[in-house]
Amino acid sequence: MLKEFREFALKGNVIDLAIGIIIGSAFTKVVQSLVNDIIMPPIGLLVGKVDFSSLFWNLSGNTYQTLAEAKKAGAATINYGLFINNIVDFTIMAFVVFLMVRQINRLKREEAPPPVTTKECSFCLSKIPLAATRCPQCTSTL
């Protein structure tokens, strides 16, 4: 059983999958930084100097000035600002994955073979039109 598992784990597909997961997690960090540090601050500035990551609804009935205070007190909150950030993260990731898959499919696409318009004479092996009933080279009936 250990030998079987080793053979499975060392197959190319499993190693490719592991590499993909590692690169994907690193890419996710880059996209999160792009959204949180570059995209959302100007959007927050445009909509009235809002920091989306600190937007929340307090469900506990007490008043807290920041999300950090509410979390420290253990208050129940709905963190809709973080949800907005995650939606932007997802949208960017989905778009990038779409572009990558589109490019890979474009590279994989094979051109259709040209239509067959000739055949070989079974006697002299010369090329003749598909509709021919007699070979023009050896005059054999096909």
> Helix, strand, or coil here: 38?
helix
CATH value of 2-109 in 3.40.50.300, 1.10.1200.120, 1.10.3720.10, 1.10.357.10 = 1.10.1200.120
Domain boundary assignment for the chain: 2-109, 116-142
**pLDDT score for 113:** 80
Confidence (pTM): 0.56
66-123 per-position pLDDT tens digit: 888 888 888 888 888 889 888 888 888 888 888 888 887 887 777 778 888 889 988 8
Read off the pLDDT band of 12 (50, 70, 90): low
Q: Is the pLDDT of residue 9 over 80?
A: no
> Helix, strand, or coil here: 77?
strand
29-72 per-position pLDDT tens digit: 888 888 888 888 888 888 777 777 788 888 888 888 888 888 88
Helices in 10-79 by DSSP H: which ranges? 12-33, 40-46, 67-73
Q: Are the C-beta atoms of 135 and 123 separated by less than 8 Å?
A: yes
**pLDDT score for 3:** 82
Q: Is the pLDDT of residue 10 over 80?
A: no
